[in-house]
Structure 1
C-alpha cells in the first residue's frame, strides 16, 4: 500500500518533549553515519542530510502551529521546553566542521555534475555553515551557540508578553451613545449582557475589535484609551529589545560582519546597506509632498479637533466616505467568508489552472479549520489548511506557515507540499456569518500568495523548494502580487455576492472601491517606510538608543507625530520575534517586483494569459532553486522598475 501523501495533524503534548529528544538523538546518529561514509556524494550524503531537516520540520511544525493558534498554559510550557533542545541541535549541526568540510569537498569534486537545483543546495548550505560559524575556533563557536539559545528564548518571551498583554486588556462601554453610528456587525460582536441584565459592549486589542472602534468609534476618549492600551503593550519587551540588539551585533561580528544589517543582507537580493537606504529614501522623497497634502486635507476635514494619531483612522474613514461615497459596512455583506474563499479558489483556477477541492475526513486542531487539496491538470499537487477566524487563544495577525515541501526523497519517491494559512477574521456564529472588510479580503489574497508559492513548486530538492531558499527580500513578491488582484473587477465578481440576497456586487460599488484604494496612499507609504528605515538603521548603529533612533526616523518620515507614550517598538514582533530583522524593507523591495508583474498580466487581460502561466511555471514552480533576480528576468525579460510601485500606489513623484 502506498504511503498517504499528507501527514496527519497530530500533537501529543504529554509526550512531545521526550519524542522531540528522541527525534534529535536519532538525527545525531544518522549524521554520524553519514559522516562515516568514505566516498561522499550528493546522493549518499547531501540528499539524506537534507531530508533529516525536512522530517524534523514535519515533526515540530504541528506543535509550533498549535502554540500559535490554540495557545494555552500547556502549549507555552511545551514550546518553551522545546526551544533550547532545537536551538542546541541546530547550533550543533550548523557549526559542525565535518559537515561543512564534506559539502565543500562535494562542491570541489562533483559540482559540475549536479543539476542547477542541487548546485544551489550546495551553495546555500555552505553559506549557511559559514553564517553559523562552522569555520571558527571552538571558543567562538561556543559563544555563538550561547547567543543563539538566548535569542530564541528572548524571541519566545517577546511574543508571549505581547499575546498576554493583548488578551489582558478590555474596555467595557455602557453608554449606547459611545457605539452610536458604528457598523451593526461590530456592535453585535462587542455586545454582551451584564450581571444586571443590561446590554454593554466590550472592545479589546484583538485586531477585529480594535480596528472596529478606532475606525468607527465616536467617543474620542475611548479611542485614545484603546490606542494607548495598544501602543503601550508589553513594556517589559524594552529590555528584551536591548539585549536582542546587542546579541545580534555580537554574533554578526563573530562571523565577520561589522553590523547585523550587513549580516542580514548576506541572504538577500539587495547588495549592501547603502543600496537599501537609498531605495527607502527614494520612496520617501517621492511620497513626501503628496503625503503632506493628504494630511492637510485630513486636518481640514477634521475641523476644530486637534488631530492626533488616535483620530486618523476615524476621520480618515469619514473623509473617504465623504469623498468616494464609500462605507465599508455597505461592503461587508458582500464579503461573507465562505463565499470569499470559494471565489478565491475559482480565481486561482482561472489564473493558473489550479483546482482546489475540500479534503474529506481530515482531523484538525479546531472546528473552524478546514483542509483543501490542490490539483494542476487533474494531478494532486498539494494540501492547504485554513484557520481564518479570531479567537483569544490565537496570536494576532495573519501568516502562512509551510509544513511539507515538494521534493523527491532518498528513494526517488515524490513528496507533496502542504501549508497553513492563519488569519484573524470576525468569528462566525449560528446566527451571524463572518463578514469581512475588504482589507480582510486583501489579507487573505496576500497569505494565499505565500501559500501557493510554497505549494505549487515543482522543485525536487526540499532545501530550495517552495519558499525554502528564496531571498528574504523576495519572499513577499508572490503574496503582494496576488493581493493586487483583490481590487480587479473581474476577480471581485467571482465572489462578492450579498450573503442574504445573492446579488453580485455592482459596477458602481466596485468603481468606488477601486477609486478609494489609494486613499491616503502616500501617508501609508511613509508609515511603512518609517518602520523599514527604523529597523535597518537600528541594526547599523554601534550602541543604539532605540527611542532616539525611532524619534530621528519619525522626524524624517512621520507626518503626524505620535504621543510620547507610544512605544510601538515593544510590539514590533516582525523584527524582534520574527524573521524581518534588518529586513523589514523587504516588503517595499518585493512590492516593486509584484507591481511590475501585476501590471504586465493585467495588461494582457488577467485570466488565461500566457504570462500568468509563465508566472506559475517560473516564479511559483522554481521556488528558491534560482535567485529571484534571475527568475524575475526570465519572467519579464527585463529588470524590475521602481516606477511601477508608485503607479500602483497612485503616488505622483
Structure 2
C-alpha cells in the first residue's frame, strides 16, 4: 500500500517531538556506522529515510509559519532552528559518514543504478562542502556559523513580514481612488464614523493596484517609499550574513561565497555566469532605451520610479488598446485553477481530484494527482492573500516519491502558495493575467516534484536538481499561459460564462513583451548585484556602493537614494538564491528552447511535450539537468531562444 502524509502540526509538543526524533536519528546513525560491511542498501538507504522522515516532520511547521504566521508559530519556528541546524551541521561534518559514502562508492560504483550513484556522489559533495574533512576547531566554527545564518535568515524574513503588515495608507477623498479597478476599490473600502474610506497596504495586490492605477502622484510616492524602505534593521543583518558566508567559504577553501555556491550548479564559474549576464545586458540595453523614450512620452513630467507602473499601464492601453482590468472578469480564480488542471491533463495525461479535508485555512485546498488512472501524488493550494501569510508566491516540496528499505512506495506531496486577491461571499477572486502566469509558474515547480518516479528520495522530484536548473520546469509551464489554445480552456467570464474573445487574446499575446527589455535589465540588476556582493562585499556601505554603480548600467530611471531594495531582497538573504539569483535567467534559456520545440510541433500533438514528461519530470534530480536536457533536445541549449521569448532583437 502507498501512503500520503497527513498535514498536522502540534505547536505545543513540537519542540519535544523534534528533540525525540533527533535523539532517535543520532542513535540510528551510530548503529549504522557500527556495521562492519556497509552497502548502499544497509547504510545509504536508511540514512536517506531518517533524513526524509525528519524533513517531513519539520516541513508543516515551516509551511505554517509562512502561511498562518502568528506569535506562536514564530516562537516555535525560531526555537526549532538552532536545534535542527546543530543536528544537520554535525551530521554533515561527520567524517565517519563521509568516509562510509566514499567507501561504498568505490566498492559498488559498477553495480549501483544511475539514481543510487547520484545519491552517493551528491552526498560526498555535500560532505566536502560542509567541512567533514576539516579539523575540530574549524568544524565547531562552521556549526556556529550555520546556526547563526539560519537565525539571521529567519529574522530577515520576519522583519520584512512585520514591516509589510505594519503600514497602511488611508484615503478619504473619492477623487484619489478614481480609476482604481472596482474589485480593488471594494477590497480597500471600509466605513468609519459614517465616512467611506479606502485602506491601501504593502500587501502585493493592494500595493500594485494603487501603483498601477492611482492617479494621485503624491500617494504613489508615499506607498513606493514605504515599500522600498521596509525593514531598515535588515541592513545590519545583511552585513552579518555576508560576513558569515565569506568566513564559511574561506574555511572550506574557497576564495569567496560565489565560488562555493557554483560548485553544485550547472555553471562552471563566475566568469561564465557574468559573461552570460553581461551578454544579455548588452543585447537588451538599446531596446530598453527605446522603451523608456516611449514611456516618457506619455508622462507629463520627468519619470520617477513611482511613476513607471502608472504610465506603463497608460502606454499599454495606447499601444495595444489593452486594459488589464477588462481581463480580470475572465480570470476567476477557481475557473483558472480548474482550467489549468484540464490543460495539464491534455498535455501530459494527469488528473487532479479534490479531497475534502480540514487544513490550516478554510480557503486552502488539496487534490490527489492521478496518472494513467492511478494515484501518484498530492498537492495543496493556498492562493489568497491574508495578513498572516508572507508575501510572494512559491512551491514548497514536502514528501518526495520513493521506495523504502521494505520496497514500500511513498507518494510525493507539495504546497503551491500565492497571494491573489481575496474572495468574499459577495465578490470572487479575480486575477490579473500576471497572476495566471504566476500560478502556472508555481505549478511547473510542483509537477516537477510530484511526477518523478525515482525511488531514491534524495534525488526524486526537485531534490538533487542543480539550483540554476530548478526554474526550468516552472518557466517552461508559465509560457503556456499566453497560448490561445490554453487560454480558451479557462478564460471564461465569471458572470456570463462567455469564453474570452479572440481579439482580447490577440492583444494579450501582442502585449506579452511590453517593456520586456526594461524588465530584462531589472532582473539582470538583481542577478549581477547578487554575484558581486557575494564576491566583494561584507559591509552595508560596500553593498550600497555596488548597487549604486550597477544601477548606472541597468536603471534607466534614476533610483531615489532612499530606495534600500536590498533590505527586502528575501530571495538571497532569507531564501535559497544567494549567489544563485542568475538561475532564473540561466534556466530560462532551457525553458525557452524546450517551449518553442513544443509550439513548433503543436501544443497538444507535441512529441517533445511527451518526452519532457518522460525525461525532465520523470527523472527529477536523478541525473544532471545538463544530461537530461541533451536527452530531451538532442543538443545543448540555444541561448538565442531566450531573447526571442522576450521579444528582444
TM-score (norm 1): 0.98
Runs of 4+ deviating beyond 2 Å: none
CA-CA distance at 1:256 after TM superposition: 1.0
- Write the mapping of 1:178-327 to structure 2, written as runs, cut at 5 A: 178-194=176-192, 196-303=193-300, 305-327=301-323
1:316-375 superposed Cα distances (whole Å, 9 cap, x missing partner): 001001110100110000000000000000000011011111123x22111000001111
The DSSP-based 3-state class of the residue aligned with 2:603 is: coil
Kept in 1: contact 2:190–2:198 (CA 8 A)? yes
Q: Is 585-594 or 106-115 further displaced after alignment?
A: 106-115
1:244-298 superposed Cα distances (whole Å, 9 cap, x missing partner): 0010010001111101000010110000000000000000000000000000111
The DSSP-based 3-state class of the residue aligned with 2:30 is: helix
The DSSP-based 3-state class of the residue aligned with 2:298 is: helix
Matched, 1:424 2:419: yes
- Write the mapping of 1:102-113 to structure 2, written as runs, cut at 5 A: 102-113=100-111
Structure 1 distance, partners of 2:307, 2:554, is: 19
Structure 2 distance, partners of 1:37, 1:372, is: 42
CA-CA distance at 1:306 after TM superposition: 1.8
Structure 1 distance, partners of 2:33, 2:579, is: 35
Kept in 2: contact 1:8–1:363 (CA 8 A)? no
Query: Where do 5+ consecutive residues of structure 2 fail to align?
Result: none
- Cross-structure match for 2:448: 453
Length, aligned pairs only: 647
Structure 1 distance, partners of 2:530, 2:619, is: 30
Matched, 1:173 2:168: no
Query: Where do 5+ consecutive residues of structure 1 fail to align?
Result: none
CA-CA distance at 1:116 after TM superposition: 0.7
CA-CA distance at 1:608 after TM superposition: 3.6
1:363-398 superposed Cα distances (whole Å, 9 cap, x missing partner): 211100000111111111000100000000000000
CA-CA distance at 1:567 after TM superposition: 0.2
Structure 2 distance, partners of 1:607, 1:223, is: 44
Structure 1 distance, partners of 2:256, 2:191, is: 55
Structure 1 distance, partners of 2:253, 2:445, is: 32
- Cross-structure match for 2:352: 356
TM-score (norm 2): 0.99
- Cross-structure match for 1:88: 86
The DSSP-based 3-state class of the residue aligned with 2:206 is: helix
Structure 1 distance, partners of 2:605, 2:10, is: 45
CA-CA distance at 1:112 after TM superposition: 1.0
- Cross-structure match for 2:495: 500
1:144-165 superposed Cα distances (whole Å, 9 cap, x missing partner): 0000000001000000000000
Structure 2 distance, partners of 1:368, 1:175, is: 33
Structure 1 distance, partners of 2:621, 2:237, is: 33
Structure 1 distance, partners of 2:322, 2:181, is: 13
CA-CA distance at 1:610 after TM superposition: 1.4
Kept in 1: contact 2:64–2:73 (CA 8 A)? yes
Q: Is 554-563 or 515-524 further displaced after alignment?
A: 554-563
Kept in 2: contact 1:264–1:582 (CA 8 A)? yes
Kept in 2: contact 1:9–1:363 (CA 8 A)? no
Kept in 2: contact 1:357–1:372 (CA 8 A)? yes
- Classify 1:524/1:542 alpha carbon distance in 2 versus 1 (closer, same or farther; 3 Å): closer
- Cross-structure match for 2:366: 371
Matched, 1:337 2:333: yes
CA-CA distance at 1:400 after TM superposition: 0.2
